[in-house]
A = this chain, B = another copy of it.
Amino acid sequence: MRLKIAVLAGDGIGPEVTKQATNILRAVAEMGGHEFTFVEGLIGGTAITETGSPLPTGTLDAALECDAVLLGAVGDNKFNALPPDKRPEAGLLQIRQALGGFANLRPSIAYTALSASSPLRPEVTKDVDILFVRELLGGLYFGAPRWWDRDSNEAINTMRYTRDEVVRVARVAFELAGNRRQKVTSVDKANVLEVSQLWRATVTEVAKDYPSVTLEHQLVDSMAMHIMNIPRNFDVVLTENLFGDILSDEAGVITGSLGMLPSATIGGAVNLYEPVHGSAPDIAGTGKANPLGAILTAAMILRHSANLEQDAKAVEAAVNKVLDAGYRTADIARGQQPGQTPVSTQEMGKLVHQAL
């Protein structure tokens, strides 16, 4: 098996965690006799500093020639004063759009070993296994018109969806639910927003093609509450772009840390893989970053781009094993118990490698 992966490490803790992820991919390749090659590229604040652009053409061209793109994290407080289209995040939004993946898969799993690091009670998080399917190319992120007029002192963003955009992402959610617990929860604000009414009507229609999957609708405000109260009730959660951004971060609370959450964006020319966490500039370079989100993202590459399901499972099992053995980066050390060992980013990566 051959796989060419663009590695865009980005800002803050991006490079540190990405390095651990590529180490794991290298190990998998070696063990299985696969040929994984890695092409590095600049993105985000680092790219602005070196080239003036948050997504240099060279990066995009290289990415489009790869089988998968692994992105670390983008964002740097240095650029806070810039308008959205000049910021590091613009590089992320541009590459998402250019690669064309519209379905962002964000699993949120409660690890038994980590139940002490969640602010939620263990009986609430027990056995939780949610898969968010977040639409990634529509809504307020990309809708026009968008502007901040400094003369009139007014600003506008546009939440826009077409039926086709909803259909295609809804199909992904129903397909995935078919292989899981047969339930899709679609999130909207249909009691107020016309866009949500289109969303709800379209999802309801798509559901007819998947008679074995149960569809339920939840308003985004209620959902923000239900996810914390009864997370076990949810299987696949389907959302528009911004609602998915908010709710999937909130779901980091279930796992105990955002640092644990991987994501894969599928459906486009090239799949894009990114841990859910941000660039966390405050801890960059301190060895405190949790590489498990990036490593679990690497497992998603194996699953969705390399068709190596067994290897994906093996990486996930290795992560579980290391957690069960008590190893903890700072973010998952809440309520530290005897028998737990604090480790750095690099040590955590090595431990997973060994467990593999």
Contact = CB atoms under 8 A, between A and B. Distances in A.
Contacts of A75: 191
A141 B193 CA distance: 7
A153 B163 contact: yes
Contacts of A220: 245-246
Nearest to A93: B192
Interface string A139-179: 01101001110001111111111111000000000000000
A262 interface: no
B84 A192 contact: yes
Interface in A212-250: 220-222, 224-225, 228-229, 242, 245-250
Nearest to A228: B253
A146 B194 contact: yes
A194 B246 contact: no
A159 B160 CA distance: 11
A258 B219 CA distance: 14
A160 B158 CA distance: 9
Nearest to A245: B221
Given A148-B198, A156-B159, A158-B159, A193 B249 contact: no
Contact of A84 (B83, B163, B194): B194
A314 interface: no
Among A89, A253, A278, which residue has the most Cβ atoms of chain B within 10 A?
A: A253
Interface string A232-276: 000000000010011111101100001000000000000000000
Interface string A99-128: 000000000000000000001110010000
A128 to B, nearest CB: 11
Interface in A177-197: 189-195, 197
Nearest to A118: B121
Contact of A191 (B87, B156, B195, B247): B87
Nearest to A145: B158
A120 B123 CA distance: 10
B250 A224 contact: yes
Contact of A141 (B146, B148, B162, B192): B192
A29 B162 CA distance: 55
A261 to B, nearest CB: 11
A249 B224 contact: yes
A349 B75 CA distance: 51
B228 A119 contact: yes
A89 B121 contact: no
A154 B160 contact: yes
A197 B162 contact: no
Contact of A195 (B93, B156, B224): B156
The 6 closest A-B pairs by CB, nearest first: A153-B163, A155-B198, A224-B250, A221-B249, A148-B194, A119-B124
Given A84-B190, A84-B194, 6 more contacts: A119-B228, A157-B194, A220-B245, A221-B250, A222-B249, A224-B249
20 contacts: A84-B192, A84-B194, A89-B192, A93-B192, A119-B120, A119-B124, A120-B228, A146-B193, A147-B194, A148-B197, A155-B160, A155-B198, A155-B199, A156-B159, A158-B158, A222-B249, A222-B278, A224-B224, A224-B249, A225-B249
